[in-house]
Amino acid sequence: MKNLTLIIILFMSANLFASGGGAHLESAQTNIRSNDSLVNGAKLYMNYCSGCHSLQYQRYSRMAADLGLSKDEVTENLIFTGAKFSSHMTKTMDNAQVKEKGWFNNAFPKDLTLVAKSRGNDWLFTYLKSFYKDSSKSTGWNNTLFPDVSMPNVLWELQGIQQASFEEHEDEHGIVSHTFTGFENITEGKLSHDEFDTAVRDIVNFLAYTAEPAQLIRLAYAPWVLLFLVVFTFLAFMLKKNYFKDIH
């Protein structure tokens, strides 16, 4: 019994740790089965993210096949690097250039192919919505989920500019800490609040797809596999009944 209690406590604390120390995450509510969402996510990703981040384990041709896009649609609308249809999705920006110019405080924009696996959909959704204006930062932006992040808010035109409010606390040792209390929009974006949520959800959905493209095929096969199991169970049951009829 003691051991069981210990295992439950360890399990719960491991979960708490994995969720990033209890930071509040919004539910992304992505739907990997929605092709419209994936196509819109791909478009937004290519327009707003691919300049700095690569998806180097994904190919344009694979994406086209999985999302039902033609070669011409992808080449004309989604490839901005002059890359071939069959090549991997590299980024426009060069790390050597970032280093030389000292951009983003030398924090290189990472490859995002697997980021939905490492960070989780809810984290990505909350992160992309949590940028706020902070003139003390070199990029002019900060983020409540990823404090002092070096990435600027690339979606500000769609979202509008928001400012964050914090409450100041001082403990008995005189150490001051700040608790985030909420956002307020100081300029309107091109999209409404709900439209912006949908746009971010679509980007996250697309990143969840690139992290495991085979899941689309797996999901398409799933009903057939279940149907096969049901039919097979029925046949096995009938066979068993037939074999045992003389024994009883």
Taking CB under 6 A as the criterion, which residues in 13-52 touch ligand HEC?
48-49, 51-52
Position among 57, 104, 180, 183 found at the interface with ligand HEC (CB under 6 A): 104
Q: Which is nearer to ligand HEC, 127 or 196 (CB)?
A: 127
Please answer whether residues 164 and 182 qualify as being in contact, where contact means their C-beta atoms are separated by less than 8 angstroms: yes
User: Can you say whether residue 134 is alpha, beta or left, with left for phi > 0 and alpha for psi between -120 and 50 degrees?
Assistant: beta
Q: C-beta of 107: minimal distance to ligand HEC in Å?
A: 4
Position among 24, 110, 190, 240 found at the interface with ligand HEC (CB under 6 A): 110
Q: Which is nearer to ligand HEC, 74 or 124 (CB)?
A: 124
Position among 109, 113, 129, 130 found at the interface with ligand HEC (CB under 6 A): 109
Taking CB under 6 A as the criterion, which residues in 44-103 touch ligand HEC?
48-49, 51-53
Residue whose C-alpha is closest to residue 112's, from 123, 101, 99: 123
Q: C-beta of 169: minimal distance to ligand HEC in Å?
A: 26
Q: Which is nearer to ligand HEC, 104 or 180 (CB)?
A: 104
Taking CB under 6 A as the criterion, which residues in 116-175 touch ligand HEC?
119, 124, 127-128, 149-152, 154-155
Q: N- to C-terminal Cα distance for the chain?
A: 45
Exposed / middle / buried, residue 3 (Cβ in 10 Å: 0-12, 13-18, 19+): exposed
Q: Which is nearer to ligand HEC, 74 or 142 (CB)?
A: 142
Q: Does 180 bind ligand HEC (CB under 6 A)?
A: no
Binding site for ligand HEC (CB under 6 A): 48-49, 51-53, 104, 107, 109-110, 112, 115, 119, 124, 127-128, 149-152, 154-155, 203
